C-alpha cells in the first residue's frame, strides 16, 4: 500500500495526476518573460553606452575643436575635425534633414517592437548598437542648429580618403554588420535557429 501511495501523484507513472495545461503554459510564459527581460536589459545597456559615448565625444569635440584646425591623431591617416552634417552619410541629401529625422525615429520604434520578442543576446547587442547610434544622431537632429528636426549632426572622425563620421555612425554600421552576420547564420531575434 505504501508503494502504491508513493506512485500516485508521481509524474511519469501510470495513475499519476497530470499537471494542468494552464500551469504548464504559465510556467513556460514565466520562463520566457524572464528570459526576455534579460535580453532587453542587454539591449538597453548597449544602447545606453553607445549613446553616452556619442554624446560625450560630440560635446568634447564641439567645445575643444570647432572652428579650429584639424587635429592629427595618426599622422595624416586619421584626424579629428568638426563638421556639421545636415545630410546623411557622405554629406548626401542635405535638403532632406527632416526625412532623415523621421527615418531615425522610425528605426527606434521598430527596435522597440522587436524588443518585445527578443531572446537572443547577439541580436540584443546588435539592436542596442543600432538604437544607441540612432538616438545619438536623432538628438543632434532635434537639438542642434539650425532648428528642431533640422539640426546638423556633428561629425569629427576623419580617416584619410574617407567620409567624416561620428561614434553614432560607427555604432549603426557595426550593429548593421552584426545583423547581417546573424541573419546569414540563421539566428532569429527570438533565439530560434533555422537552416535554409
Catalytic annotation, residues: 155, 169
CA 16 → CA 11, 13, 26, 161, distances in Å? 6, 5, 21, 74
DSSP 3-state percent helix, strand, coil across the chain (nearest 5): 60, 10, 30
Whether 128 contacts 50, CB under 8 Å: yes
**Cα–Cα dist 6/16, whole Å:** 10
For residues 121 and 43, what is the distance between their CA atoms, to the nearest angstrom?
8
**8 Å CB contact between 155 and 70:** no
User: How is the beta sheet containing 153-159 ordered, strand by strand?
Assistant: 71-74, 78-85, 153-159
Amino acid at each position: 500500500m505504501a508503494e502504491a501511495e508513493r506512485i500516485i501523484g508521481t509524474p511519469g507513472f501510470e495513475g499519476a495526476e497530470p499537471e494542468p495545461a494552464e500551469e504548464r503554459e504559465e510556467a513556460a510564459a514565466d520562463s520566457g518573460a524572464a528570459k526576455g527581460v534579460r535580453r532587453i536589459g542587454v539591449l538597453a545597456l548597449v544602447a545606453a553606452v553607445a549613446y553616452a559615448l556619442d554624446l560625450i565625444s560630440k560635446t568634447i569635440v564641439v567645445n575643444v575643436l570647432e572652428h579650429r584646425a584639424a587635429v592629427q591623431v595618426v599622422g595624416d591617416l586619421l584626424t579629428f575635425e568638426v563638421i556639421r552634417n545636415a545630410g546623411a552619410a557622405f554629406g548626401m541629401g542635405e535638403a532632406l534633414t527632416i526625412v532623415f529625422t523621421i527615418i531615425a525615429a522610425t528605426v527606434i520604434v521598430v527596435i522597440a517592437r522587436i524588443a518585445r520578442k527578443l531572446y537572443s543576446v547577439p541580436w540584443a547587442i546588435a539592436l542596442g548598437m543600432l538604437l544607441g547610434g540612432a538616438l545619438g544622431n536623432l538628438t543632434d537632429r532635434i537639438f542642434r542648429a539650425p532648428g528642431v528636426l533640422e539640426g546638423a549632426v556633428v561629425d569629427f572622425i576623419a580617416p584619410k580618403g574617407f567620409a567624416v563620421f561620428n561614434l553614432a555612425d560607427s555604432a549603426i554600421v557595426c550593429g548593421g554588420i552584426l545583423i547581417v552576420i546573424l541573419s546569414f547564420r540563421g539566428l532569429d531575434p527570438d533565439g530560434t535557429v533555422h537552416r535554409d
